[in-house]
Amino acid sequence: MNRKYRKTIIAGNWKMNMLPSQVKPFADELKAVSPRAKWCETVICAPFVDLPAAIKAFKELRISVGAENLNENEKGAYTGEVAANMLVDLGVKYVIIGHSERRQYYGETDFSVNKKVHAALEAGLQPIVCVGESLEEREMGITLERINLQVKAALSGVSAEKMRRVVIAYEPIWAIGTGKTATTEQAEEVCKLVRDTVRVIYNDETAEALRVQYGGSVNAGNAAELFAQPDIDGGLVGGASLKAEFGVVATA
């Protein structure tokens, strides 16, 4: 990454794991093994029920807390959903939008992702927008075209000023939870494309300020090499964020 323009951001995505009662013991364990790195921002994205406990437990560690999803509507008759302003009221700073599991299992589309991005930004949240190709799309040789479209769709109507609060995470679908990781070259190629796409939509300044993460079986063993690439500014970490080794990833 280029620290002249950007600060590393490591975000853990707990998915549907971790009980509220387990959050404080985990925070204590993380504190014991994880030195604070001033050049790195660390985020834990937790299930809705864990958010209050996470905000309290991670405050001392200076770890920001994020949600894993939100509804695009401000309020209304949407049983079971959570609005952006509800997250802000709790003290949540970040929110993951468009994760491949949301797209695959819950029918989220490029268009619904765009609506959620606008809802998050309007409320003052910082969205971590996920993009990524399937194995079939990579084998067909259309990875770059697919990512380009996802980025353009997600950011449609977002001003350059609001882009300062957006993080984009490249997560190849075929590498999530499989133990497979894109090669350093593959990850850098797509993250550079993400930045170049933003450059075309906006300008050089916005593109250079954008933080682009890589996600997909990131762990303590491969983090340092991935994060050393010029266009990879950190990681969106899944399974490893549930263990104390997350602290090692965050300081890689």
Task: Supply the residues annotated as catalytic.
Answer: 99, 171
Q: In the numeric block, which tokens belong to residue 64?
A: 């920001």
Nearest-CA neighbor of 119 among 170, 167, 65, 157?
157
Going through 102-166 in order, the beta strands assigned E by DSSP cover: 126-131
Q: Which residue has the tokens 């802000």?
A: 88
Nearest-CA neighbor of 241 among 66, 12, 33, 59?
12
37 exposure class (CB count in 10 Å sphere: 0-12, 13-18, 19+): middle
Nearest-CA neighbor of 164 among 110, 211, 230, 95?
211
Beta bridge partners of 164: none
Q: Which residue has the tokens 């050049």?
A: 39
